[in-house]
Amino acid sequence: TQLLEQSPQFLSIQEGENLTVYCNSSSVFSSLQWYRQEPGEGPVLLVTVVTGGEVKKLKRLTFQFGDARKDSSLHITAAQTGDTGLYLCAGAPGDAGNMLTFGGGTRLMVKP
């Protein structure tokens, strides 16, 4: 079983601050996805990174895939209250299997 560890588990910051969430594993993934989940709803995809070293930007969110495809990070610049939610990373196996592995999640609260 491939494991994905997310850190931190909880993060409470003021509006305008920057933050980084990490997703680490000892396994290689063919791709890594980041999801955001609101209370009472299912996760919604933010981005997929596929190539080692890849950087993708989505407005104030920057996603990076590690060179060895074992880790990823999500950086939010100038956080807003609307960024509050649960952020989940999920890795697709490097052997082209069909089991998606999720990290434990980072619960972000952005205070006004």
Does the protein bind other proteins through residue 102 (CB under 8 A)? Answer: yes
**Taking CB under 8 A as the rule, which mask of x and - marks residues 22-61 in contact with other proteins?**
--------xx-x-x----xxxxxx--x-------------
Site size for other proteins, by CB under 8 A?
28
Q: Which residues of 66-92 are buried (b: 16+ CB within 10 A; e: fewer)?
A: beebbbbbbbbeebeeebbbbbbbbbb
User: Tell me, what DSSP letter sits at residue 68?
Assistant: T
Can you give the binding site for other proteins, defined by CB under 8 A? 1, 4, 6, 9, 30-31, 33, 35, 40-45, 48, 88, 90, 92-93, 97-105
